[in-house]
Amino acid sequence: MKLKALTVIVATVTSILSAAPSRAQMSGDVIRIGLLDDMSGQFSDLIGPAAADAMRMAIADMGGAINGKKIELITFDHQNKADVAASGAREWLDQGGVDVIVGGSNSSAGLAVSKIANDKKKPFLVIGALTTRLTNEECSLYTIRWGIDTVALARGTAAALVKQGVKNWFFLTADYAFGAAMEADATRVIKAGSGTVVGSVKHPLFATDFSSFLLQAQASKAQIVAFANAGRDTVSAIKAASEFGITKNMKMTGLLLLLNDVHALGLQTTQDMFLTDIWYWDQSAESRQFSKRFFEKAKRMPNSSQAATYSAVYQYLLAVKATGTDDPHKVMSKMRSSKLNDMYVRNGVIRPDGLLLQDVYLMQVKKPAESTTPWDYLKVVQPLSGDLAFTTKAETKCQYWK
């Protein structure tokens, strides 16, 4: 990272936040954290109820209170609808006494919440909404992204496959903000590597039948079908492709493939597939210790988004404790000017566009014979510098990082 230059820019952003009007030291008698996410639908495995478990862990690790003020967690199911997400966020911030909103998986919902948080000047720690618009053309002083985005996914998985000689691609893409961004970012990487996109087809969110889409993929004669979707759509599409016999003549890849997706599909179906991510439960002694505690609560190993949820809440609460206030401007200024360390991030810095900058990892799904314990699914192929994996300063459209 170009830390010297980045430090100067971050200092400018934090000075803007510090100059904002301040409030009383603590608002009300509680520090109220809201998890606004898909709690029961398509993406509920991505963050969902298990993320609430991770948040409770972070709260417990802070002793359940700061300066005598209890830390309270509340949840809201946005149902993967942008208008429901915006309504819930507005009610929380206007009437519910919520100090910070966390989550927002589903890019359309995340964008809607970010706008409300910016209008109300309250923190939004976004996890699981992977569109780069949140830290690019629609960046905000009050939105921080914890985790990966579509640019980093493309520069990891798509780039690796192109280098292996996979040059002709067909996209099966979810018809909403994330899918469009994922296909666009991967297409740029493919073309930069002298590859070609021979076709694509869009499917509705919550699709139940992928047969017609897979017939189009087969007819394209592409080397690979890339699934630019997420959650249960990814699991259903890959399962259908395997049953359809796609792999007899084509490769397949999930551009957003998470630990829980591999678990749902099994190693027999997903073996050797590449994926790109920031964190894996078995990568270090600290991650394994956290994951063991998480498993005791959730009865599953955490994916990177659930680990990010713990980290985001923990770092927010550390900033509240350090500043002695839940004033959003002072807390955000503290977070943006600090080196962040926990079991998820090491010496992490928040860029002026709101991205928590970290290195990412190209990983590969193990063959069944390589897996020695439950949830032992992935192996690291190559680390990728966050400076190169994410949108660069030269590419940014964020007004705070030009």
What does the pLDDT read at residue 93? Answer: 97
Domain boundary among 342, 360, 378: 360
- When pLDDT is averaged across residues 198-214 and rounded to a whole number, the result is 95
Q: Tell me: pLDDT of 44 over 70.
A: yes
Q: What pLDDT, in 10s, does the model give residues 6-17?
A: 555 555 565 556
In a domain, 176, yes or no: yes
Q: What pLDDT, in 10s, does the model give residues 295-338?
A: 999 999 999 999 999 999 999 999 999 999 999 999 999 999 99
Helix (H) or strand (E) holding 275: strand 274-277
Q: Tell me: pLDDT of 32 over 50.
A: yes
**Whether 111 and 238 share a structural domain:** no
User: First vs last Cα of the chain: how many Å apart?
Assistant: 17
Nearest to 152 by CA among 401, 383, 399: 383
What does the pLDDT read at residue 9? Answer: 53
Instruction: Report yes or no: 211 and 201 within 8 Å, Cβ to Cβ.
Output: no
Domain boundary among 261, 277, 293: 277
Domain boundary among 325, 343, 360: 360
Give 18's pLDDT tier (boundaries 50, 70, 90).
low
Q: What pLDDT, in 10s, does the model give residues 352-385?
A: 999 999 999 999 999 999 999 999 999 999 999 9
Q: Tell me: pLDDT of 22 over 70.
A: no
What does the pLDDT read at residue 282? Answer: 97
**Whether 8 and 138 share a structural domain:** yes
**Domain total in the chain:** 2
Give 1's pLDDT tier (boundaries 50, 70, 90).
very low
Identity of the residue numbered 233: D
Q: Tell me: pLDDT of 28 over 60.
A: yes
What does the pLDDT read at residue 24? Answer: 44
In a domain, 289, yes or no: yes
- Residues 6 or more apart from 150 whose CB is under 8 A from it? 130, 131, 132, 178, 181, 182, 184, 185, 186
In a domain, 376, yes or no: no
Give percent of the chain with pLDDT exceeding 90: 90
Q: Tell me: pLDDT of 393 over 80.
A: yes
What does the pLDDT read at residue 26? Answer: 79
- When pLDDT is averaged across residues 116-123 and rounded to a whole number, the result is 98
**246's tokens:** 């796609």
**Whether 135 and 223 share a structural domain:** no
**Whether 27 and 39 share a structural domain:** yes
In a domain, 395, yes or no: no
Q: What pLDDT, in 10s, does the model give residues 259-285?
A: 999 999 999 999 999 999 999 999 999
In a domain, 328, yes or no: yes
**Whether 301 and 338 share a structural domain:** yes
**Whether 15 and 144 share a structural domain:** yes
What does the pLDDT read at residue 256? Answer: 96
Q: Tell me: pLDDT of 291 over 60.
A: yes
Distance CA 19, CA 381 (A): 45
Instruction: Report yes or no: 75 and 98 within 8 Å, Cβ to Cβ.
Output: no
Distance CA 258, CA 261 (A): 5
The domain that holds 265 is classified in CATH as: 3.40.50.2300
Q: Which residue has better confidence, 326 or 28? A: 326
Q: How far is CA 67 from the centre of its chain?
A: 31
In a domain, 375, yes or no: no
- Residues 6 or more apart from 164 whose CB is under 8 A from it? none
In a domain, 49, yes or no: yes
**Whether 91 and 110 share a structural domain:** yes
**Whether 188 and 269 share a structural domain:** yes
What does the pLDDT read at residue 91? Answer: 98
**Whether 80 and 37 share a structural domain:** yes
**237's tokens:** 């599409």
Give percent of the chain with pLDDT exceeding 70: 94
- Residues 6 or more apart from 95 whose CB is under 8 A from it? none
**Whether 144 and 155 share a structural domain:** no
User: Measured between alpha carbons, how far is residue 97 from residues 78, 93, 199, 349, 359 in Å?
Assistant: 18, 6, 49, 28, 35
**Whether 107 and 162 share a structural domain:** no
CA atoms within 13 A on the CB side of 77: 9
Q: What pLDDT, in 10s, does the model give residues 240-266?
A: 999 999 989 999 999 999 999 999 999
**Whether 139 and 161 share a structural domain:** no
Q: What pLDDT, in 10s, does the model give residues 124-160?
A: 999 999 999 999 999 999 999 999 999 999 999 999 9
Identify the domain containing residue 120 by its residue range.
3-148+283-360
Give 65's pLDDT tier (boundaries 50, 70, 90).
very high
- When pLDDT is averaged across residues 26-37 and rounded to a whole number, the result is 92
Beta partners for 32?
Answer: 72
Distance CA 336, CA 281 (A): 26
What does the pLDDT read at residue 206? Answer: 87
Q: Across all residues in the chain, what is the average pLDDT?
A: 93
In a domain, 378, yes or no: no
